[in-house]
Amino acid sequence: MSLYQFLYIAAAAGFILALKWMSSPATARRGVLAGQLGMLMAVVGTLIRAEIFNYEWIAVGIVLGAVIGAPIAIFMPMTGVPQRTAISQACGSLASALIGTAEYYKLQPHGFIMSALIVETLLGFVTVTASIMAWGKLQEVLPGRPVTYKGQFFINMAVLASAIALGIFLVFNPERTDLYPIFVVLALTFGVFLILPIGGADMPTVIALLNSYAGLSACAMGFALDNKLLIIAGALDGSSGFILSVIMCKAMNRSFANVLFGGFGQVQASVAGTEARPVRSATPEEAAQILETASTVVIVPGYGMAVAQAQHKIRELADALGKKGVDVKFAIHPVAGRMPGHMNVLLAEADVSYDKLIEMEDINPEMAMTDVVLIVGANDIVNPAAETDPSSPIAGMPILTAYKARTVMVIKRSMGVGFAGIDNDLYYRPNTLMLFGDAKAFTTSLVKELTAT
């Protein structure tokens, strides 16, 4: 066995262990380290292969990648992680697609290799534009609401079918290089069309699904290049992304067909146009008094916490309540935020203990016995309409049943709707108090009031 083969086997083991260990918060850091070491061995193993005879351009690529990647990793705020993930997927998919393109024009292979190249480039180019579109919606440089038009589904399917048909033709006629650019344009176009009808509420699932596509593209590239490590890594990435997408869809009571072609996230005029209803609000002093006298408090983080960068202040609030004998837990909804595990990442950054993070299925039975539920910037994931209004766009979506608590307090800038574009009945219930303001500033005031008494 050559050295590079040994390194490839060790790298594959590292990738597998990384996924295994990252499935538990207690071993997640070990999993990240295993993945990093696995990737290092994969890169080193590739660089020492006999096929590599010129390191100059490789060195240029490493330097450019470091110059671009290091500042992104260092200065990217936690609220930008979903956008960074989308762009990273676009870059990885573009690399895969360009490698496949180069192999096609260089070799014009036949049979299985050509089939693998077509799958690789189709998935790669689709993921490139789809990920860029996802970034645009997450960054709000593109409309966050679904963009729909008459006959959209059939147009999308026609573009995809044309790309697949042309790809199959190229498999049997690889010498028709003049048709390949048309194949690329169709794949890129479908990537755009794929994301247009998807609203912001579905973005966590979309990110996971695009990650799966990128992994499958890399897996196909492994077959095309006869690189077993790429096959393993791509298969792991593709399958884990697919499984995560299924989990996310289940958490939202959604199907893949609805996510890809539905209208979830559209503002309903009938709801948006309802007359204003009275709400009860409270000052930081009043809210602190309620929290201080509670025995149990459940904090529900949402994207508003991420936008305000309030996770550290939320931890200080939990610590202050804990010193007063209050039992504090964090209720985590699987689709809170804009990417899978977004809230877990933010709270981990603030050094919130993992044993305080309780999943939806485990915390919901405790809600009716909870003195105070403090919602920080969450909206749709606590909307009772999911359980009470069969006509609601989120009907059937599992939610955190915060409305069952004795007192509900919501830190929010305004009465604006969430990604689903519908009003939240929770805000108008008699046991709810609205705490209007920036999440970080309001939480700072709460901490100040609690520590002063």
Look at residues 333, 303, 332, 310 and name the one whose alpha carbon lies nearest to residue 416: 303
Question: Which residue carries 């690789």 as its tokens?
Answer: 120
**Contact yes or no for 234/221 (Cβ under 8 A):** yes
- CA 362 – CA 398 distance, rounded (Å): 13
Residue 382 in tokens? 């606590």
**Contact yes or no for 251/334 (Cβ under 8 A):** yes
Question: Which residue carries 């393993």 as its tokens?
Answer: 232
434 sits in which H/E element: strand 432-436
Question: Alpha helix locations (H) across 151-227?
Answer: 152-172, 180-195, 203-225
The reply to whether 423 belongs to the active site is: no
Look at residues 421, 337, 407 and name the one whose alpha carbon lies nearest to residue 367: 407
SS3 of 192, please? helix
* Amino acid code (one letter) for 449: E
- Per DSSP, the residues of 223-286 read HHHT-HHHHHHHHHHHHHHHHHHHHHHHHTT--HHHHHH--TTPPPHHHHTSPP----B--HHH
**Contact yes or no for 12/38 (Cβ under 8 A):** yes
- CA 268 – CA 33 distance, rounded (Å): 46
**Contact yes or no for 294/371 (Cβ under 8 A):** yes
401 sits in which H/E element: none
Burial class of residue 59 in the structure, from the number of CB atoms within 10 Å of its CB (0-12 exposed, 13-18 middle, 19+ buried)? exposed
Look at residues 146, 169, 168 and name the one whose alpha carbon lies nearest to residue 156: 146
111: left (phi over 0), alpha (psi -120 to 50) or beta: left
SS3 of 347, please? helix
Single out the catalytic residue among 380, 389, 425, 438: 380
- CA 392 – CA 394 distance, rounded (Å): 5
Give 259's contacts (C-beta < 8 A, 6+ positions apart).
198, 202, 205, 206, 209, 249
* Active site residue ranges: 380
